[in-house]
Chain A
Amino acid sequence: MNAAVTDSTQISGKPARRQPVGLVFCCTILGAAAQILMKTGANHMTNPGLLGMATNLPLMCGYCLYGLSTLLLVLALKDGELSLLYPVIALTYVWVTVLSFLIFHDELNPWKLLGIVLIISGVAVLGKGGKR
């Protein structure tokens, strides 16, 4: 019951800090949107050169969203533990799988669904563990 003792001291010693996991949650949604935009941009790529990439609006929006998502990750890491937050980034797989199904009509099979459930439960476990 050692864990219970350290937990209670942290509750009294530190202010409530649940935002880091929430911030990484937002970061994964932005990251997934970025990947979908980049895929859309890649599908419509006419000129694969540097100029073609720079004038590709969905691709560039994707890069901007990636930048924004990294920004949120930095804010989250400021207050949270790396070992707790880094694995939460795997939520991106969940959103990308669901969005690819909705937008590109990629196949959604039992394996992917099982994977999604496992990732979400893993993040839930980490989220609960990160609650102080």
Chain B
Amino acid sequence: MKTPLSHMLLVLLAAFIGSFGGVFLKSGAGVVRDGLVYLFISREPPFFNWRLAAGVALFLLSSYFFVLGIRPPGELSVLYPMVSLGYIFTLLWSRIFFKEPLTRVKFLGLFLIVMGVVFVGLGSK
């Protein structure tokens, strides 16, 4: 394994930031009611949907760290599984911030997806 620890930490950071991007998009999505033209602005308070803007900004920041992390000598076979940790973080935040129920179906689906991402990573040597 020649992927440096620093690259792993960068990808982990990207996954962590990305999971919060999802949280902000979700909380901002609830405020969108005037259609797509008024995605970020609204005719009634809150006039500026800062949550959506924050979500997009966090996604951009996350992709920046992701690209830094997967640069050589980072190996996708090691780094892809770390991306899928972001999905597990998201499950946690959904429970904490939005009180979404954590069902067996969600755990099973998530488990299959995480394993799938691990195997796609393993095949990407």
In the complex, A97→B117 CA distance in Å? 11
Which residues, 91 to 125 on B, are CB-close (under 8 Å) to A? 91, 93-95, 98, 100, 102-106, 108-124
Interface of B is mostly: helix
Say yes or no for B59: interface residue by CB 8 A criterion. Answer: yes
Say yes or no for B16: interface residue by CB 8 A criterion. Answer: no
In the complex, A21→B122 CA distance in Å? 27
In the complex, A92→B84 CA distance in Å? 12
Cβ contacts A113-128/B at 8 Å (1 or 0 each): 1111111111101101
Chain A residues near B25 (CB-CB < 8 A): 70, 73-74, 77
Chain A residues near B119 (CB-CB < 8 A): 111-112, 114-115, 118
Work out how many contacts link A and B, with CB atoms closer than 8 A. Answer: 133
Say yes or no for A1: interface residue by CB 8 A criterion. Answer: no
In the complex, A112→B124 CA distance in Å? 7
Contact across chains for B113 and A118 when beta carbons are under 8 A apart: yes
Contact across chains for B32 and A74 when beta carbons are under 8 A apart: yes
Say yes or no for B14: interface residue by CB 8 A criterion. Answer: no
In the complex, A3→B104 CA distance in Å? 10
Contact across chains for A125 and B29 when beta carbons are under 8 A apart: no
Contact across chains for A93 and B117 when beta carbons are under 8 A apart: yes
| A115-B121 contact in complex given A90-B113, A90-B116, A122-B109, C-beta closer than 8 Å | yes
Say yes or no for B39: interface residue by CB 8 A criterion. Answer: yes
Contact residues on A (Cβ < 8 Å of other chain), bracket: 35 or more
Cβ contacts B41-61/A at 8 Å (1 or 0 each): 000000000001001100100
Chain B residues near A87 (CB-CB < 8 A): 87, 90-91, 109-110, 113
B residues whose Cβ falls under 8 Å from a Cβ of A: 19, 22-23, 25-26, 28-30, 32, 36, 39, 52, 55-56, 59, 80, 84, 87, 90-91, 93-95, 98, 100, 102-106, 108-124
A residues whose Cβ falls under 8 Å from a Cβ of B: 3, 70-71, 73-75, 77-78, 81-84, 86-88, 90, 93, 97, 107, 109-123, 125-126, 128-129
Could you list some 24 contacts between A and B, CB below 8 A? A74-B32, A74-B55, A78-B30, A78-B32, A81-B94, A82-B26, A82-B93, A82-B98, A83-B100, A90-B113, A93-B80, A93-B117, A107-B123, A111-B120, A112-B124, A115-B117, A115-B119, A116-B116, A116-B120, A119-B112, A122-B108, A125-B109, A129-B105, A129-B106
